[in-house]
Amino acid sequence: MTDVLWTPPADVRERSRIGTYLSWLREHRGLDFADYDELWRWSVTDLDAFWRSIWDHFEVVAHTPPTATLADRGMPGARWFPGATLNYAENVLRMPGRADDDPVVIAHGQTREPVTLTAADLREQVRRVAAGLRRLGVTAGDRVAAYAPNIPETYVLLLATSSIGAIFSSCAPEFGTRSVTDRWQQIEPKVLVAVDGYRYGDKPVDRRGEVAAIRAALPSLEHTVGIAYLDPAGEQPAGAISWAELAAATDEPLTFTPVAFDHPLYVLYSSGTTGLPKPIVHGHGGILLEHLKMLALHHDLGPADRFFWFTTTGWMMWNFLVSGPAVGAAIVLFDGNPGHPDLGALWRLAERTGTTYFGTSAPFLLACRKAGLVPKEIADLAALRGLGSTGAPLPAEGFTWVYAAVGDSLQLQSLSGGTDVCTGFVGGVPLLPVHAGRITCRALGAKVEARSGDGTPVIGELGELVITEPMPSMPVGFWNDPDGTRYREAYFDHYPGVWRHGDWITIDERGGCVITGRSDATLNRGGVRLGTAEFYSVVEGLDEVVDSVVVHLEDDEGGAGELLLFVVLAEGLELDDALRARICRELRTALSPRHVPDEIHQVRAVPRTLSAKKLEVPVKKILTGTPVDSAAAKGALANPESLAAFASFAQRRSTEDHPTPA
């Protein structure tokens, strides 16, 4: 077909890790698969055999073996590998194929000089920090929180925390106080590890005030550890110890606490679209197995690789990236502004670090294309053999740009998944060709389907993305949700026993996928993902603002798009420049500079459902040209007349610079 941009080499089974796995299945299980489709169908049908093969093929280190693979197949509540005890950090730090003096963490940024850790360095730092956490009284089940960027210390802290069975949670330091405390007040951490600030490009960003406010808002904290990142000579916060003190020399050996397969490893958070961010608990075993499968079999990563993904510690792609050493890959960390001094920065980083797999977001690739950048002309990308794109759908023109401007022999893998499963459940695989604008396949073990409005599976038609069989990396639950009510409501209310993800997807007859976008209203701007509920908590915290609705109109060509805020003001008030400035100031301080709206307008009412939920998605549809009757089911609205103002606004936008809704 004319849209084929990359074809697997004839000897792909001899050269790829999935080829090695297929040979292993033939030799050890007596299974022979003609193609990827056959393998995938087996993987989502015989769940016991498939996931046990992942455990055995990758030689998972366990302290006690499982009594079964899948004790209960029902969702929610599937029980994986009962009886097994293991430790995520132990399996990551095994670093198969890596010698002690091999670099395994290569960290660059805009705040300090590059740092490289060998395999021996990483184990030694984890040993010391784990001992330091124990000195602070941290034991299995305690929470350790990191307000820190994508630097080696954060990674060491994750591994040290998990090595003792404690539970890790991170927030990127660009998140403001409210965003952080909304997350961490729910999980009540015992220890906070925080940086003093960071540089974004050439701009220093002091976070000492935010750290003080976060500490004050978390009565559960018993200890604070300061990382002097922005100012190495600066003083520690009052009552805090330094990172050097935490990681002080000790004779205590590196040990790993054996925990159950579903013992909490870390807490990730939903974007907060419908209330407080949901604290999503992931388990040691499920994350380990999923990442072994995805990193090795789909991304084809191993001991010869240097694996990079541009991410902050507030996005699940960081958690995905840092599992790299579990399959023998070295990881490349970057902290800073990816557009400084220009959009070529990350491509030059790839050359400097010898990156073999370059992961980023679709908006970044589209921004490079829009800027006319040709990465292969400004950097030697000869080592690059894989390129990953996620965070948003990558259109066909993004695919063709990659093959024209980055390299014509690499494999481009567009993937999609989520914080909820901490992986991609649709993506690429070395066995299949790359088609422009298409996600290549459904991942092994991920029974992804498209469902029509009446719930029937469809092929070649737009449908709701669902997962009809359990995956080990589905959450072990939400924090502080003992009977699982919030967890069920989040994924299983619409189709009982079936995971409804919240994306629109079309699956073609060959298994390729196109994701049209989220069916919720997450804001994603400048690489910072933030839900609308957090936005509203700031705006509506102002006395003058009674109600509000925010929408992000994405730029198809990769720009920042437009963020439009509509406010309902208290009786008798009119929106003026002073109030606009105050709203912007509050958002910049509490959340992030990238969430300051481009425009703020006054409306009489915010459209809401009968159950009082705001309707961001219909508003967004109306603002992008969808007729009101097609954008929302008026019968489900408490105030359908409120949509008219947005329709009038959309109509006038094309002819006026700054229209005001009626």
In this predicted structure, the answer to whether residue 590 has a pLDDT above a threshold of 90 is no
Which DSSP string corresponds to 535-549? HHHHHTTSTTEEEEE
**50 and 445 Cβ atoms separated by less than 8 Å:** yes
Say which residue the tokens 């980023």 belong to: 360
What pLDDT, on a 0 to 100 scale, did the predictor assign at position 638? 63
C-alpha to C-alpha distances, 208 to 112, 193, 547, 593, 646, nearest whole angstrom = 18, 12, 32, 17, 41
What pLDDT, on a 0 to 100 scale, did the predictor assign at position 634? 61
Nearest to 305 by CA among 414, 360, 383: 383
The per-residue pLDDT of the chain, averaged, comes to 92
- Give the percent of the chain with pLDDT over 70: 93
How far is the C-alpha of 585 from the C-alpha of 607, rounded, in Å?
26
Give the pair of three-digit tokens for residue 548: 């509000």
Q: Which residues contact 114 (CB under 8 A, 6 or more apart)?
A: 106, 107, 108
Give bridge partners of residue 84 from the DSSP assignment.
none
C-alpha to C-alpha distances, 104 to 92, 481, 651, nearest whole angstrom = 11, 38, 55
The secondary structure element, H or E, covering residue 42 is helix 36-43
Q: Which residues contact 322 (CB under 8 A, 6 or more apart)?
A: 92, 155, 158, 331
Say which residue the tokens 């001094």 belong to: 341
What pLDDT, on a 0 to 100 scale, did the predictor assign at position 502? 84
Nearest to 104 by CA among 86, 83, 126, 87: 126
pTM summary value? 0.84
In this predicted structure, the answer to whether residue 559 has a pLDDT above a threshold of 80 is no
Per-residue pLDDT of 415-430, as tens digits, reads 999 899 999 999 999 9
Which stretch of 210-214, 275-279, 556-560 has the lowest confidence by average pLDDT? 556-560
Q: Which residues contact 316 (CB under 8 A, 6 or more apart)?
A: 268, 418, 419, 422
The secondary structure element, H or E, covering residue 287 is helix 284-292
- Give the percent of the chain with pLDDT over 90: 75
What pLDDT, on a 0 to 100 scale, did the predictor assign at position 87? 98
What pLDDT, on a 0 to 100 scale, did the predictor assign at position 657? 52
**43 and 443 Cβ atoms separated by less than 8 Å:** no
Sign of CA dihedral 415, 416, 417, 418: positive
What pLDDT, on a 0 to 100 scale, did the predictor assign at position 530? 63
**605: helix, strand or coil:** coil
What pLDDT, on a 0 to 100 scale, did the predictor assign at position 522? 58
How much is the CA Rg of the chain, to the nearest whole Å?
A: 24
Residue type, 534: E
CB atoms within 10 A of CB 656: 10
Phi, psi of 483 (to 5 degrees): -100, 5
What letter would DSSP give residue 92?
H
**How far from each other are the two terminal CA atoms of the chain, in whole angstroms?**
51
- Banded model confidence at residue 168, pLDDT cuts 50, 70, 90: very high
What letter would DSSP give residue 417?
E
Adjacency order of strands within the sheet including 85-86: 62-64, 85-86, 259-260
- Banded model confidence at residue 611, pLDDT cuts 50, 70, 90: very low
Nearest to 361 by CA among 416, 406, 403: 416
In this predicted structure, the answer to whether residue 435 has a pLDDT above a threshold of 50 is yes
In this predicted structure, the answer to whether residue 635 has a pLDDT above a threshold of 80 is no
Which DSSP string corresponds to 539-577? HTTSTTEEEEEEEEE--TTSS--EEEEEEEEPTT----H
What pLDDT, on a 0 to 100 scale, did the predictor assign at position 273? 42
3-state helix, strand, coil in the chain (%, to 5): 30, 25, 45
∠ CA 211-525-628, rounded to 5°: 130
Per-residue pLDDT of 342-364, as tens digits, reads 999 999 999 999 999 999 988 78
Per-residue pLDDT of 280-315, as tens digits, reads 999 999 999 999 999 999 999 999 999 999 999 988
**415 and 426 Cβ atoms separated by less than 8 Å:** yes
In this predicted structure, the answer to whether residue 575 has a pLDDT above a threshold of 80 is yes
**Interstrand relation of 528-530 and 523-525 (parallel, antiparallel or unpaired):** antiparallel
Say which residue the tokens 């359908």 belong to: 640
The predicted model gives 333-337 an average pLDDT of: 96
What pLDDT, on a 0 to 100 scale, did the predictor assign at position 247? 98
**Interstrand relation of 167-171 and 143-147 (parallel, antiparallel or unpaired):** parallel
Give the pair of three-digit tokens for residue 344: 């070529």
Give bridge partners of residue 117 from the DSSP assignment.
105
- Banded model confidence at residue 332, pLDDT cuts 50, 70, 90: very high
In this predicted structure, the answer to whether residue 613 has a pLDDT above a threshold of 60 is no
In this predicted structure, the answer to whether residue 610 has a pLDDT above a threshold of 50 is no
What pLDDT, on a 0 to 100 scale, did the predictor assign at position 1? 45
**Interstrand relation of 423-427 and 441-442 (parallel, antiparallel or unpaired):** antiparallel
In this predicted structure, the answer to whether residue 636 has a pLDDT above a threshold of 50 is no
Phi, psi of 350 (to 5 degrees): -60, -40
The predicted model gives 513-537 an average pLDDT of: 67
Q: Does 635 or 310 have the greater pLDDT score?
A: 310
Sign of CA dihedral 422, 426, 428, 432: positive
The predicted model gives 54-73 an average pLDDT of: 97
